[in-house]
Structure 1
């Protein structure tokens, strides 16, 4: 892009909450030709404290002030999904690239609007589905693409989690289980990562059959989802997500089944990949993660903005994930 020729990417962050302590924003200070120059939070004292602890030159308590800061030339929207569309509109209107947390928005329609306004403004739109750049997930893609397990037939996702410790009885003070802010519940927060990576592996999902419910009545959003889906290349998938299961049932596993073997992997609480090929001993492959889990994705954004690479996670790909989740849960939210 013209605005980045012979320059570095100078980031501003809207909403420096927990995700910015280690996962994301610190990486902006470590990547070549990248710097973090300003942060914003509505609570000015917290914004100032973050800036002090992370050695960021400037802080704000108003989004417009950071967006219009002439020293900021790219903006990371790290707020909950309910504000993504409004803030993306403001950032795009200022002519600055948009990097937004996942899920991309509360619903597919908001995603499409974000794509439209960024295209109209001529600015790129990236989304924080960082598994597309992590070494364990890239290894899975390499194995699938190389035919290590033959032709892929189907994929199975299983996630059973006990009630999350941050769930109050009335679901208060937790935006992740407030549909007006998050669009859905923990399924939207966690399942989105799993589904987006499968989009990266196999392409778009073109058909979905799903059912969602709220069985435990601990909060307003769905707490269980089961679904079947079909990718554009004909591969079939199934998924089961439960967020009020017993501790003994806790699991996080995706299995990709081919006609010559299978690949099994967790998406969250471990980083191994188990390869089982017909006639061979199983291989358990282990990987080290970067200190800042979004490092490689943010690096790919910097490289694209500076004309030396491409980011694999865009608004167009992320919008597809929102569509899939919406289809899987529409019976619950249309009641």
Structure 2
């Protein structure tokens, strides 16, 4: 029997990616959608043939026909809505970042554990075939000892208060700025590939922007293995790189853009280019894994704990960020 979904939050991410991934999944059925704006909700339901429309998340959670919810609301709403979903016995896939703080993440994890439900976090880049290939080459020793992991990412967002996504640069609602929003994806990959972080140094600033959240963030990380990490992320850039690099004692792996699926392998003095294209919809494997986790009573590959670990690095970075934000 398919997992019957309710979508809470029908904004840009749900519309462009996740809703279609749910509809395309053979083990899923989308029963309901929720958005406070009734006209936009009606348009979403019409576009995706969703039979039930609710303007409050409580109504979705009260629907006994729904097995799982995908929560794609602003970050400030995640904790309350995940706790409510757990109380209603609904499995939860929540958008990234998981919460505004580690404490919020801990509350969500505990509530879902007590309720006996699956909790997943939508860090979909973990499922890129090129990332899985990086992990394979690293684990098989082709890189030797890992020395460094690095990423540079940017988005040309020029946020204004009229934009639907302006909450992404309001720290009380989004939790931060560029680091929280796009940096969190890369930090999640850092933890996945390089392991636990021992220390973080950060520099966050706001340049040529009218909001107060950071639109520039640079991090230096020290991993427990001894490896180093570097992350740079920007909002409002004229270009939008998506560069990812692993450097070891025996070689280097490079992918740019990461979602392009091309991997440059410089190993043992030779270079080759591999191609590992992602799914047409980046979220398709994320949904498939979550549904499989529900059906097999296991943790999703990106569990609540992994979402929490990413938030812990973010919190550490923000706490010592210099100068400004």
- Report the TM-score, using the length of structure 2 for normalisation: 0.92
What's 1:58 paired with?
Answer: 52
What's 1:175 paired with?
Answer: 167
The 3 A distance-change label for structure 1 pair 266 and 310 is farther
Q: 2:3 aligns with which of 6, 9, 13?
A: 9
Q: Measure, in 2, the Cα distance between the counterparts of 1:14 and 1:191.
A: 24
Cα shift readout 1:208-231 (whole Å, capped 9, x = no counterpart): 122222233421101222222122
Answer yes or no: is 1:210 the counterpart of 2:202. yes
For structure 2, which runs of at least 5 residues remain unmatched after alignment?
A: none
Q: Measure, in 2, the Cα distance between the counterparts of 1:151 and 1:199.
A: 16
What's 2:291 paired with?
Answer: 302
Q: Measure, in 2, the Cα distance between the counterparts of 1:94 and 1:127.
A: 19
Instruction: Give the Å deviation of 1:236.
Output: 1.8
Q: Measure, in 1, the Cα distance between the counterparts of 2:51 and 2:192.
A: 37
The number of residues matched between the two structures is 324
Q: 1:126 touches 1:301 (CA, 8 Å); kept in 2?
A: yes
The 3 A distance-change label for structure 1 pair 306 and 225 is same
For structure 1, which runs of at least 5 residues remain unmatched after alignment?
A: 1-6
| 1:141-156 matched pairs, under 5 angstroms | 141-156=135-150
Q: 2:147 touches 2:228 (CA, 8 Å); kept in 1?
A: yes
What's 2:110 paired with?
Answer: 116
The 3 A distance-change label for structure 1 pair 238 and 301 is same
Q: 1:155 touches 1:237 (CA, 8 Å); kept in 2?
A: yes
Query: Which deviates the most, 253-262 or 216-225?
Result: 216-225
Q: 1:36 aligns with which of 11, 25, 30?
A: 30
Instruction: Give the Å deviation of 1:77.
Output: 0.4
Q: 2:262 aligns with which of 268, 272, 283?
A: 272
Instruction: Give the Å deviation of 1:168.
Output: 2.6
- Report the TM-score, using the length of structure 1 for normalisation: 0.89
What's 1:138 paired with?
Answer: 132
The 3 A distance-change label for structure 1 pair 278 and 270 is same
Q: 2:118 touches 2:298 (CA, 8 Å); kept in 1?
A: no
| 1:219-298 matched pairs, under 5 angstroms | 219-245=211-237, 247=239, 251-266=241-256, 270-280=260-270, 282-298=271-287
Q: Measure, in 2, the Cα distance between the counterparts of 1:162 and 1:15.
A: 22
Instruction: Give the Å deviation of 1:29.
Output: 1.9
Q: 1:130 touches 1:294 (CA, 8 Å); kept in 2?
A: yes
Q: Measure, in 1, the Cα distance between the counterparts of 2:12 and 2:235.
A: 22
Instruction: Give the Å deviation of 1:241.
Output: 2.6
Q: Measure, in 1, the Cα distance between the counterparts of 2:47 and 2:187.
A: 35
Q: 2:144 touches 2:251 (CA, 8 Å); kept in 1?
A: yes
Answer yes or no: is 1:326 the counterpart of 2:315. yes
The 3 A distance-change label for structure 1 pair 126 and 42 is same
| 1:53-92 matched pairs, under 5 angstroms | 53-92=47-86
